[in-house]
Structure 1
Amino acid sequence: MSDALEVLGDRYSLPVLRELLYGFHRFSDLARLTGAPRTLLTGRLRRLEEAGVIVRRQYSERPVRHEYHLTEAGADLIPVILTLKEWGERHTGHAEPKAVFRHTCGAVLHPVTTCGECHEEIRPGGFEVAGGTHPPVMRG
């Protein structure tokens, strides 16, 4: 988890990814929608690009302009972004407008972490942690 936070754990990386997910790809839109100072945003975009989370594509030659898109690694963060969005709406009490994500079938998306084998939802007490820097076996 610390490796992921090294890439995503600053103030603007997740908001940038959120806006890319919402369909905003141009620097000016990302700056306006995230509130990030332009110089800081330039550095964050470069860092996300170096980490393989986003890719920069030129869309104009004169003047030279780029837009940003999620890579496959960035797309792997979609469930994380949706989960954080839903958690924030449920637990922070902030009344910001809620974007609704729908699957192509029309149903509203609600991210859920499930077991890859039995497909049951993962809840506290329903898993064990083994290996890594944790005690030999830790129950969730």
Structure 2
Amino acid sequence: MGFSKYITTLLFGVLLTATSCNPLGEDKSELKIFEVQSQDFGHVINDKALPEEPNLNLDKTILNRDYPIEIALYNDGRWYYDLPNLDTGVGTWKYENGKLKLFAQRERFDMYIDVVATQESAKTMAIKFIDRFGPKSLTVEKINQP
């Protein structure tokens, strides 16, 4: 009995390690990511500072309807998010190493999201983050774009 329990525990540990460990905590998505210049993201950044009450119906946003999450980036380095299953909030963003790095401090957890280009010109994009279920890579659509 002791030996079979040991083998079961060992197999479970190996399986857990093999399925959960991958470099930098990233998911195993099939998205091809491109490093782009900061100006390539300009078409999704609002040409104004974050207002006191952002209007996602008017401002440029990126959206994933399935997760769901909607993000508005502003030229003062701040961003606003709407997570209908959670709440809304604000954070800061910066361009670094070919992507936009978003951060928001929350009461229960901090949010770290990367906005990445899935085409060389950043015409299409995705967001990458880790939630309570693990790493996510979600394509986003652009809303209210000129």
Q: More helix by proportion, 1 or 2?
A: 1
| TM-score computed with the length of structure 2 as normaliser | 0.20
Higher relative contact order (CA 8 A, sep 6+): 2
Q: More strand by proportion, 1 or 2?
A: 2
